[in-house]
Structure 1
Amino acid sequence: MLVSLKWLQDYVDLSGISEKDLAEKITRSGIEVESVEIPGEHIKNVVIGHVLKCEKHPAADKLNKCLVDIGEGEPVQIICGAPNVAAGQKVAVAKPGARLPGGIKIKKAKLRGEESNGMICSLQELGIEGKLVPKEFAEGIFVFPDDAEVGADAITALNLDDCIIELGLTPNRSDCLSMLGVAYEVAAILDRDVKLPHPVYHESTEKASDYIKVTVEAKEDNPFYVAKVVKNVKIGPSPLWMQARLMAAGIRPHNNVVDITNYIMLEYGQPLHAFDYDRLGSKEILVRRAYDGEEIVTLDDVKRTLTTEHLVITNGSKPVALAGVMGGANSEVQQDTTTVLIESAYFNGTTIRKASKDHSLRSEASARYEKGVDPNRVKAAAERAVELLEKYAGAEVLRETVVAGDLEAEPKKITISLSKINRVLGTNLSSQDVVDIFRRLRFTVETSDDLFTVTVPTRRGDITIEEDLIEEVARLYGYDELPKTLPVGAASPGGLTPYQQKRRVVRKFLEGAGLYQAITYSLTSRDMVHQFVLDKTEPVEIAMPMSEERSILRQSLVPHLLEAVSYNVARQNDSIGLYEIGSVFLKQIGQELPQEDEHIAGAITGVWEANEWQGEQKLADFFVLKGILEGLFAKLGLGDAVEWKKAELPDMHPGRTAEIFLNGKRLGFIGQVHPQKQKQLDLKETYVFELKASILLNEQALELQYDSIPRFPSITRDIALVVDKDTEAGKLQQIIWQAGGKLLKEVRIFDLYEGEHLQPGKKSIAFSLKYYDPDKTLTDEEVMNVHEKVLAAVKEKTGAELRS
Structure 2
Amino acid sequence: MKISLKWLNDFIDVAEYAAQPQVLADILTKAGLEVEEIQDRARDFANVVVGHIQVKDKHPNADKLSLCQVEVAAGKVEQIVCGAQNHKAGDKVIVALPGAVLPGNFAIKKSKIRDVESNGMLCSYKELGMAETSDGIAILPVDAVVGQSFAEFSGLDDVTFELKVTPNRADCLSHYGLARELGCLLGKPVKSPEVLTKFASGSTRQKIKLEVKNTELCPRYCGRYIANVKVGPSPAWLVQRLEAVGQNSINNVVDITNYVMLEMGQPLHAFDADRLEKSEVQVRSAVKGETFKTLKEQDLTLSGEELLICDGVKAVALAGVIGGLNSGVSEATKNIFLESAFFNAMSTRKSSRVHGVETDSAYRFSRGVDPSSTATIMDRAALLIQQVAGGEVYGDAYDVNSRPQTPKKIRISLQTVTDRLGYSVDKELFLKFMGGLQIQVNDLGGGEYEMTPPLFRFDLEQDMDLVEEYARLHGYEHIQENIPALHVQPTVHDANYMLNQKVSQFLRAEGYNQAFNYAFTSDHAESTWLGDIKGHSQQGLATDVSAIKIRNPLSEELNVMRRSLSQGLWKNTLENIRSGSSFGALFEIGSVFSKTDSFVESSRLGLIAWGSQLGLYSSKAPLVYSLRSSIEKLLQSLNITAYSFVTSAQTPSFLHIGQWAQLVVEGQPVGYIGSVHPRLLDQEKVRVPVVVAELNLQQILKGQPRPLKFKSLSKFQPVERDFAFVMATDKVIGDLLKEAKKSCGALLKDLSVFDIYEGDKLPQGQKSVALRAQFQGADAALTDADIQQVSQKLIDAAKKSVAAELR
TM-score (norm 1): 0.78
Whether 1:596 and 2:598 are equivalent positions in the alignment is no
1:54-133 alignment runs, 5 A limit? 73-75=78-80, 77=82, 104=105, 106=107
**Does the 8 Å contact 1:722/1:763 carry over to 2?**
yes
Instruction: Name the counterpart of 1:566.
Output: 574
Greater mean alpha carbon deviation, residues 577-586 or residues 772-781: 772-781
Instruction: Name the counterpart of 1:424.
Output: 416
C-alpha separation in 2, matches of 1:742 and 1:449? 80
C-alpha separation in 2, matches of 1:278 and 1:50? 49
C-alpha separation in 2, matches of 1:141 and 1:561? 62
Identical-pair percentage = 27
1:578-597 alignment runs, 5 A limit? 578-587=586-595, 589-590=596-597, 592-597=598-603
Instruction: Name the counterpart of 1:300.
Output: 296
**What runs of 5+ residues in structure 1 fail to find an aligned partner?**
53-63, 80-84, 127-132
Greater mean alpha carbon deviation, residues 774-783 or residues 213-222: 774-783
Q: Secondary structure at the match of 1:329?
A: coil
Return the offset for 1:90.
10
1:273-292 alignment runs, 5 A limit? 273-277=269-273, 279-280=275-276, 283-292=279-288
C-alpha separation in 1, matches of 2:500 and 2:707? 15
C-alpha separation in 1, matches of 2:716 and 2:52? 102
1:80-479 alignment runs, 5 A limit? 104=105, 106=107, 147=141, 153=149, 157=154, 159=156, 162-164=159-161, 166-171=163-168, 173-199=169-195, 207=202, 209=204, 212-218=207-213, 220=215, 221=218, 223-239=220-236, 242-247=238-243, 249-277=245-273, 279-280=275-276, 283-306=279-302, 308-335=304-331, 337=333, 339-391=335-387, 393=388, 395-401=389-395, 403-407=397-401, 421-426=413-418, 436-437=432-433, 439-443=435-439, 457-462=454-459
Given the superposition, is the C-alpha separation of residues 763 and 576 from structure 1 closer, same or farther in structure 2, using an over 3 Å criterion?
A: farther
Instruction: Name the counterpart of 2:3.
Output: 3
Task: Describe the superposition over 1:50-102 as per-residue Cα deviations: whole angstroms up to 9, x where unpaired.
Answer: 999xxxxxxxxxxx9999999584555579xxxxx99999999987865578x
Instruction: Name the counterpart of 1:37.
Output: 38
Task: Return the match for 1:672 from 670, 675, 680.
Answer: 675
**Does the 8 Å contact 2:584/2:609 carry over to 1?**
yes
Task: Describe the superposition over 1:646-667 as per-residue Cα deviations: whole angstroms up to 9, x where unpaired.
Answer: 4563233333223334444544
Task: Return the match for 1:611 from 616, 624, 634.
Answer: 616
Q: Secondary structure at the match of 2:661?
A: strand
Whether 1:515 and 2:507 are equivalent positions in the alignment is no
C-alpha separation in 2, matches of 1:749 and 1:154? 93
Cα RMSD between the aligned structures?
4.9
Return the offset for 1:313.
3.0
Give the partner amino acid of 1:212. Answer: K
Return the offset for 1:261.
1.1
Instruction: Name the counterpart of 2:57.
Output: none
C-alpha separation in 2, matches of 1:797 and 1:384? 96
Give the partner amino acid of 1:658. Answer: A
Task: Describe the superposition over 1:520-541 as per-residue Cα deviations: whole angstroms up to 9, x where unpaired.
Answer: 2322325146475541232433
Give the partner amino acid of 1:623. Answer: Y
Give the partner amino acid of 2:572. Answer: A
Return the offset for 1:497.
6.1
C-alpha separation in 1, matches of 2:494 and 2:379? 64
**Does the 8 Å contact 1:608/1:618 carry over to 2?**
no
Return the offset for 1:298.
0.7
C-alpha separation in 2, matches of 1:353 and 1:106? 48
Task: Describe the superposition over 1:15-44 as per-residue Cα deviations: whole angstroms up to 9, x where unpaired.
Answer: 667655545555565x44253523559847
Whether 1:749 and 2:750 are equivalent positions in the alignment is no
Given the superposition, is the C-alpha separation of residues 366 and 545 from structure 1 closer, same or farther in structure 2, using an over 3 Å criterion?
A: closer
Given the superposition, is the C-alpha separation of residues 582 and 430 from structure 1 closer, same or farther in structure 2, using an over 3 Å criterion?
A: closer
Given the superposition, is the C-alpha separation of residues 705 and 286 from structure 1 closer, same or farther in structure 2, using an over 3 Å criterion?
A: same
Give the partner amino acid of 1:595. Answer: E
Task: Describe the superposition over 1:553-606 as per-residue Cα deviations: whole angstroms up to 9, x where unpaired.
Answer: 22332222122222333344332322222223344x43x231331x33222222
Instruction: Name the counterpart of 1:543.
Output: 551
C-alpha separation in 2, matches of 1:609 and 1:444? 73
C-alpha separation in 1, matches of 2:785 and 2:737? 23
Instruction: Name the counterpart of 1:130.
Output: none
C-alpha separation in 2, matches of 1:20 and 1:707? 75
**Does the 8 Å contact 2:410/2:452 carry over to 1?**
no
C-alpha separation in 2, matches of 1:142 and 1:356? 45
C-alpha separation in 2, matches of 1:497 and 1:218? 50
Q: Secondary structure at the match of 1:668?
A: strand
Task: Describe the superposition over 1:502-530 as per-residue Cα deviations: whole angstroms up to 9, x where unpaired.
Answer: 54454344334433332223223251464
C-alpha separation in 2, matches of 1:92 and 1:511? 68
C-alpha separation in 2, matches of 1:282 and 1:238? 34
**Does the 8 Å contact 2:592/2:602 carry over to 1?**
yes
**Does the 8 Å contact 1:47/1:153 carry over to 2?**
yes
C-alpha separation in 1, matches of 2:500 and 2:445? 60
Given the superposition, is the C-alpha separation of residues 385 and 476 from structure 1 closer, same or farther in structure 2, using an over 3 Å criterion?
A: same
TM-score (norm 2): 0.77
**What runs of 5+ residues in structure 2 fail to find an aligned partner?**
54-63, 113-117
Task: Describe the superposition over 1:374-397 as per-residue Cα deviations: whole angstroms up to 9, x where unpaired.
Answer: 344333323332433344x4x222
C-alpha separation in 2, matches of 1:791 and 1:310? 81
Give the partner amino acid of 2:629. Answer: G
**Does the 8 Å contact 1:292/1:307 carry over to 2?**
yes
Greater mean alpha carbon deviation, residues 497-506 or residues 252-261: 497-506
Give the partner amino acid of 1:38. Answer: Q
Task: Describe the superposition over 1:738-762 as per-residue Cα deviations: whole angstroms up to 9, x where unpaired.
Answer: 23444434333345567788777x4
**Does the 8 Å contact 1:668/1:692 carry over to 2?**
yes
C-alpha separation in 2, matches of 1:141 and 1:693? 75
Return the offset for 1:734.
0.9
Given the superposition, is the C-alpha separation of residues 753 and 119 from structure 1 closer, same or farther in structure 2, using an over 3 Å criterion?
A: farther
Give the partner amino acid of 1:328. Answer: G
Task: Return the match for 1:577 from 585, 602, 619.
Answer: 585
Instruction: Name the counterpart of 1:644.
Output: 645
Task: Describe the superposition over 1:395-415 as per-residue Cα deviations: whole angstroms up to 9, x where unpaired.
Answer: 222142352344379895777
**Does the 8 Å contact 1:293/1:306 carry over to 2?**
yes
Instruction: Name the counterpart of 1:55.
Output: none
